[in-house]
Amino acid sequence: MSENSITYVGPPELHCGHVLAVERAGDRATVRVRDADGRHVALEFDGVADFAAVRPEGMLLHGLAELRPTELGRQDSLRYFVFANEEEWDDASLEIAAREFWVKVAERPETMD
């Protein structure tokens, strides 16, 4: 797969953010991330067709990569997302294939206890 088939998506705040929670209900999924400034970001996925997770809670993110279906040899309308782990030694992972994706960013940082 060429580097051109990978695009980082989502806000820049995802870099060095931590995955707080992953929720899945039917064909919807939500990934909640706390960025380095304490803001919460919700990544929403609809039309989820494939979901693979290995201990994603607590994972330090490098970013959210989207793989183009044509580069994967697929001709469907699904979008393929890989949560890139900043810590290469850590086997935590999260991959989602979905039709739609959007981001919700909290307006102010959460207070830290």
Q: How far apart are CA 37 and CA 13, in angstroms?
A: 8
Whether the per-residue pLDDT at 1 is higher than 60: the answer is no
The chain-wide mean pLDDT, for the chain, equals: 87
Q: How far apart are CA 44 and CA 52, in angstroms?
A: 16
Of 90, 91, 97, 106, residue with least CA distance to 32: 106
Question: Full-prediction pTM beyond 0.95?
Answer: no
pLDDT digits (tens, 9 = 90+) for 96-112: 999 999 999 876 655 55
% of the chain beyond a pLDDT of 90: 65
pLDDT digits (tens, 9 = 90+) for 59-87: 999 999 998 766 556 666 789 999 999 99
